[in-house]
């Protein structure tokens, strides 16, 4: 992100990462117009040898065939500088897997361009060093129509498909009759109406990632703070409660095992809070 302000804890970042992973997992990227194997999982975008003030890759995915996809969002035409950046990212990824798994990973790069860019070079040579990317131009998509369709579904309680969620993330990059920042704010406000907290966090975090290079800094900080205070903290508390219940259940099971030799199933269930069926299963 552009600023250290609005930073959230490691646990909160982990929740956002997991929620985004859930949207992308097992999905094809045909909504982008890209033909790759389905996504197996989303990968952390932080690698060794990266200084604290250096930029990180936008999104990294492990694909079903074991290859890696580096997905970048761009709003400028600085082709050489961008290509050099992709080379650096790719080398870091390859180096990581070589050191950790003793294997050379294939790394693909796809670049999603905002609607103000309608053409870009897909390959460039720096002498003996070459790089090729796949380009996706969001200007060919009608963002107004797509947003209208998704808004109708959300307002009327119609469940969004995985493709709908991915489109909602990308709408701010698409062609629109409205100002980009107005579209960003509208997509985020719509995303807040998604009932499932995990999915809501995932979509909003995805929008922040896709628009990081064009979003107004103060607004980005505001939304990250909102995520932290109203959604992520709520999820963290829910996880704590579930963990406490799981711990109590394990203790109850252990106590029940010790009591089964001396007490009846009914009495053990009464003393531990387990159901009769659960105690019977322990007896077996």
What is d(CA 83, CA 103) in angstroms, rounded to the nearest whole number? 24
Return mean pLDDT, the chain: 83
Contacts of residue 212, Cβ cutoff 8 Å, sequence gap at least 6: 1, 2, 58, 73, 220
Count CA within 13 A, CB hemisphere, residue 108.
16
What is d(CA 35, CA 183) in angstroms, rounded to the nearest whole number? 27
The predicted-structure confidence for 245-280, as pLDDT tens digits, reads as follows 677 777 878 777 777 777 778 777 776 777 888 877
Identify the weakest region by mean pLDDT among 106-110, 173-177, 192-196: 192-196
DSSP state at residue 57: -
Residue 70: pLDDT over 80: yes
Distances 114 to 71, 143, 190 between C-alpha atoms, Å: 14, 11, 21
Q: Which residue has the higher pLDDT, 226 or 140?
A: 140
Identify the weakest region by mean pLDDT among 131-140, 150-159, 199-208, 233-242: 233-242
Q: Which residue has the higher pLDDT, 185 or 223?
A: 185
What is d(CA 229, CA 29) in angstroms, rounded to the nearest whole number? 32
pLDDT value, residue 158: 92
Residue 49: pLDDT over 70: no
Distances 61 to 39, 86, 124, 189, 198 between C-alpha atoms, Å: 6, 15, 23, 27, 19
Whether this model's pTM surpasses 0.75: no
Residue 73, helix vs strand vs coil: strand
168: tokens are 């909602």
């Amino acid at each position: 992100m552009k600023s250290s302000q609005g930073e959230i804890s490691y646990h909160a970042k982990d929740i956002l990462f997991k929620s985004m992973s859930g949207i992308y997992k097992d999905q094809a990227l045909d909504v982008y117009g890209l033909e790759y194997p389905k996504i197996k999982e989303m990968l952390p975008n932080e690698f060794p040898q990266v200084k604290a003030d250096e930029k990180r890759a936008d999104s990294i995915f492990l694909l079903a065939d074991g290859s890696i996809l580096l997905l970048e969002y761009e709003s400028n035409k600085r082709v050489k500088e961008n290509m050099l950046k992709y080379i650096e990212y790719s080398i870091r990824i390859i180096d990581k897997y070589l050191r950790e798994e003793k294997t050379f990973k294939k790394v693909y790069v796809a670049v999603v361009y905002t609607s103000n860019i309608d053409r870009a070079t897909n390959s460039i040579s720096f002498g003996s060093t070459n790089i090729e990317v796949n380009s996706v131009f969001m200007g060919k998509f009608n963002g107004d129509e797509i947003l209208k369709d998704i808004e109708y579904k959300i307002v009327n309680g119609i469940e969004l498909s995985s493709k709908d969620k991915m489109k909602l993330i990308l709408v701010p990059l698409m062609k629109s009759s409205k100002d980009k920042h107005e579209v960003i704010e509208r997509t985020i406000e719509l995303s807040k109406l998604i009932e499932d907290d995990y999915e809501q966090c995932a979509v909003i975090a995805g929008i922040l990632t896709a628009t990081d290079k064009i979003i107004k800094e103060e607004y980005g900080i505001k939304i990250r703070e909102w995520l932290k205070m109203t959604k992520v903290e709520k999820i963290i508390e829910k996880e704590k409660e579930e963990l406490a219940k799981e711990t109590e259940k394990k203790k109850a099971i252990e106590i029940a095992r010790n009591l089964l030799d001396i007490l009846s199933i009914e009495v053990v269930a009464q003393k531990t809070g387990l159901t009769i069926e659960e105690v019977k299963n322990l007896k077996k």
